[in-house]
Amino acid sequence: MPPVEVRDLAIGYGDFVVQRNLNFVVNKGDIFVIMGGNGCGKTTLMRALVGLQRPLQGSVLFGGEDFWGAPEEERQRLNRRLGVLFQVGALWSSLTLAENVALPLSEYTALTQARIAEVVSFKLALVGLAGFEEFYPAELSGGMKKRAGVARALALDPDILVIDEPSSGLDPLTARRLDELIVDLRDALGTTIVVVTHDLASILSIGDNSIFLDSEAHTMISTGNPQQALISAHPKVRHFLTRGTG
């Protein structure tokens, strides 16, 4: 079974449908990109994938198990297969980096404090923040906050990592380094990664597969490797990927 499969999904708010008829598969080890312009529903789809917003209809399956069709305790179990990096990092400002990364370990495992400290140091080292355990979020640059958020998302060794707008608020060089980190983590850990973004540099440099959400049609109009989409995809997708020049 693929790590993630979406079947006939519709998302929205009340009677307003943002996207409908969404069908796609995220294969193991993919860096799967959910792309589209502002207001197309990328973040709403992400919220349905990570359990924050019930879809209007359809299914989200993790390893063949229907997340939204499962009882609450099963959804909590399935949720622990996911690590999530939100757009703003969502770090607790009153906690050190070590304390931020330790939170899910303290909540969901029976590890000793000594073992948690070891895991925290390892996760921070994975993202290039070794030695920053006692720093507070306010003492870090934007790129370092994003990396710390990745470390916390990886705390429970998730099968699937979901990242919302990784390059948001970052300069181009820092954004490229974060993209490189995402690829390195996928290669080193075998983690399946879903990235929600409209950043063209990220889409074209790290995406193995993708869907394009169209805000006018209110559905997906393209799927496949973003590089191939430059040539063969729907004209709207080519227009998006070439900034209107192709």
Which pLDDT band, with edges at 50, 70 and 90, does 233 fall under?
Answer: low
- What are the CA-CA distances from residue 239 to residues 135, 205, 210, 236, 245 (Å)? 43, 18, 16, 5, 7
- What are the CA-CA distances from residue 31 to residues 53, 100, 126, 129, 218 (Å)? 23, 25, 18, 23, 24
pLDDT tens, residue by residue, 109-146: 999 999 999 999 999 999 999 999 999 999 999 899 99
pLDDT tens, residue by residue, 166-217: 888 889 899 999 999 999 999 999 999 999 998 888 999 999 999 999 999 9
Cα separation, 49 vs 78, whole angstroms: 11
- Mean pLDDT over 58-73 rounds to 95
Q: Where do the structural domains in the chain lie, given as residue ranges?
A: 1-81+159-246, 88-157
Q: Is the pTM of this model over 0.75?
A: yes
Superfamily of domain 1-81+159-246: P-loop containing nucleotide triphosphate hydrolases (3.40.50.300)
142-153 vs 172-189: helix crossing angle, rounded to 10: 20
Helices (H), the chain: 42-49, 72-79, 97-108, 113-126, 142-153, 172-189, 200-206, 226-232, 235-241
pLDDT on residue 54: 96
- What are the CA-CA distances from residue 28 to residues 23, 83, 154 (Å)? 17, 15, 17
